[in-house]
Chains A and B, each alone.
Chain A
Amino acid sequence: MNGKTPLLAVENLHAHYGKSHVLHGVTFDVGRGEVVSLLGRNGSGRSTTMKSVMGLVPPTQGAVRLAGVALDRARPYEICRAGIAYVPEEREIFANLTVEENLRMGEQAAVAGATRWTMEDMFDYFPRLKDRRNTKGGSISGGEQQMLTICRSLLGNPLVMLIDEPTEGLAPKIVAAVGECILDMQRRGVSVVLVEQKLSIALKVSTRACVMGLGRIVFDGSPRQLIEDEKLLADWLAV
């Protein structure tokens, strides 16, 4: 971090679903242009961390700061407008809207310092979407929906993208395209927090890896450090 303020700082984040305590003090940060993977087994709290940062599961304790600005009490739309975009695992496509209308739903004015994206950029990444632009979101394939949900969030010109399980259930070719897209976001200065089940992909695109277990971060280091730590892999990641 070189003593500088990180772009996104998550400190001692706690969250509950009703009475069940899911996050027990999650702390990590993301620098500008970093791709940080959140790894861990199912139920370790990775998705909840994203939802909590986004304000969809409001944190019960702890802090979230974007470029030093506190966001842990903000509404989801304020968090989005501040520069954090969220790509949910469930994709959450508006089935009653066309592909193009779905994309337009994501458009937001860019905050200072954000990389700007246009609809044409999205069609360059995924030409399929251009062909399907007038099709209803509910009638496109799972792979196309995944492309759409990523592009929709990217059109908000975010500083940080939170992407939850983008390759789940997709054909290898589309998985590769999604990976390429994430790498390109990083090249263009967007920071990414990635929850990904497939370790090989996560480590390929990440600059840093965090491992979660029992609602906490149990490891924070480089992908190389992670794969060399056999005990860590066995304790927290092996199925």
Chain B
Amino acid sequence: MDWLLVSVMNGVVYGLLLFMVSAGLTLIFGMMGVLNFAHASFYMLGAYFAFSLQARIGFWGAILVAPIIVGAVGVVVERYFLRRVHQYGHAHELLLTFGLSFMIAELVKLFYGNYPVNYRIPGSLDFAAFAVGGLDYPAYRVLMGGVAMAMFVLIYLLLTRTRVGIIVRSAIYKPRMAEALGHNVPLVFMGVFGVGAALAGLAGAVAGAFYTTNPNMALELGVMVFVVVVVGGLGSLGGAMLASILIGTITSLSVGIDASLSDLFALFGARQWAEGVGGLLTLKVSSTAGTIPFALMLLILLVRPHGLLGEKG
């Protein structure tokens, strides 16, 4: 049962990381109706900026400053690129962010090389938090989860308890009316875009040190973040959290399951037949781990198109 506990914990931490990146995206997606393909690129930039800054201002300094720089990049992208093409419709915005994600990836390769960089957890944080069944559980994973949880609570309070939060939530729902009530909605959009980018940058700065920091990290995570936003529901922070944890745990658990459908058939004495048929029936669950989130997305789109907790129909 220990592996189960560890798998669930790893899944939750990975889910929390997914949440950190998708929190900004779901707000941007919900507000502007634009699927920002470059969002995961902000995650990657966070990791690389933190890597570069680490040598000069230390690990904690880098974790703090990198997201701010990424947020500034986000503001520039919104103000000078996205806003200009906004009038031509979503397709243009989508293509713009799509192109941007390639440009960022190529720039990263240009400056840092097409291989992982040596961005690691500082020695002072590389210890075990506790042991589960004789295995040490790294404190850094706990820290990553903690950062994500703190972020969730902070955004939640900001959105529900402050005037800025009320304006953001209204602008997601009815931007034109929010503007007619005297709120500078374009500025709100820019702010949300910047904060969303900064949060993705923070996730990258924190997670890049634990997983690997390489030019493909945006691509790897980007697709999963997309799934989270669709499953969780447009503009819903709670939905993003729920979907992130769900996908994180499902992925993590399925990696550890060394069974296939033929084992199910074995219960009815049909193992030989199932193995004879082969194909899907003998495919191990662990090898489908990467596909399960997409199957979940497909299912959600079919039965609940606005997502688990989406506010917009």
Contacts of B181 in A (CB 8 A): 77, 80, 85, 105-106, 108, 152-153, 156
Q: How many residues of B contact A (CB 8 A)?
A: 19
Closest Cβ of chain A to B171, distance in Å, is 9
B174 lies within 8 A of chain A by Cβ: yes
Binding site for B on A (CB under 8 A): 54, 56, 75-77, 80-81, 85-86, 88, 92, 94-97, 101, 104-106, 108, 152-153, 156
Q: How far is the CA of A111 from the CA of B179 in the complex (A)?
A: 18
Of A86, A105, A153, the residue contacting B178 (CB under 8 A) is A105
Contacts of B56 in A (CB 8 A): none
B176 close to A97 (CB less than 8 A)? no
B169 lies within 8 A of chain A by Cβ: yes
Per-position contact with A for B176-215: 1 when CB-CB < 8 Å, else 0?
Answer: 1111111111000000000000000000000000000000
Closest Cβ of chain A to B188, distance in Å, is 10
Q: Pick 27 A–B contacts, CB within 8 A, sort by A.
A: A75-B184, A77-B179, A77-B181, A77-B184, A77-B185, A80-B180, A80-B182, A88-B177, A88-B180, A92-B174, A92-B176, A92-B177, A95-B173, A96-B169, A97-B166, A97-B169, A97-B170, A97-B173, A101-B166, A104-B163, A104-B166, A105-B170, A105-B178, A105-B183, A106-B181, A156-B181, A156-B182
**How many A-B contacts if CB must be within 8 Å?**
59
B311 lies within 8 A of chain A by Cβ: yes
B167 lies within 8 A of chain A by Cβ: yes
Contacts of B170 in A (CB 8 A): 94, 97, 105
Of B166, B167, B173, B176, the residue contacting A56 (CB under 8 A) is B176
Closest Cβ of chain A to B13, distance in Å, is 30
Per-position contact with A for B96-129: 1 when CB-CB < 8 Å, else 0?
Answer: 0000000000000000000000000000000000
Of B163, B173, B179, B182, the residue contacting A94 (CB under 8 A) is B173
B167 close to A76 (CB less than 8 A)? no
B176 close to A76 (CB less than 8 A)? yes
Contacts of B173 in A (CB 8 A): 94-97
Q: How far is the CA of A104 from the CA of B162 in the complex (A)?
A: 10
Majority SS at the chain B contact face: helix
B177 close to A77 (CB less than 8 A)? no
Q: How far is the CA of A61 from the CA of B182 in the complex (A)?
A: 23
Q: How far is the CA of A42 from the CA of B163 in the complex (A)?
A: 38
Binding site for A on B (CB under 8 A): 163, 166-167, 169-170, 172-174, 176-185, 311
Q: How far is the CA of A86 from the CA of B177 in the complex (A)?
A: 9
Q: How far is the CA of A101 from the CA of B311 in the complex (A)?
A: 16
Closest 9 CB pairs of A and B: A80-B182, A92-B177, A76-B179, A108-B182, A94-B170, A76-B180, A77-B179, A81-B182, A96-B311
Closest Cβ of chain B to A29, distance in Å, is 22
Closest Cβ of chain A to B64, distance in Å, is 32
Q: How far is the CA of A44 from the CA of B262 in the complex (A)?
A: 71
Q: How far is the CA of A81 from the CA of B182 in the complex (A)?
A: 5
Closest Cβ of chain B to A16, distance in Å, is 15
B311 close to A77 (CB less than 8 A)? no
Contacts of B180 in A (CB 8 A): 54, 56, 76-77, 80, 86, 88
Closest Cβ of chain A to B31, distance in Å, is 13
A105 close to B179 (CB less than 8 A)? no
Contacts of A85 in B (CB 8 A): 181
Q: How far is the CA of A76 from the CA of B167 in the complex (A)?
A: 15
B167 close to A105 (CB less than 8 A)? yes
B185 close to A94 (CB less than 8 A)? no
Q: How far is the CA of A81 from the CA of B183 in the complex (A)?
A: 9
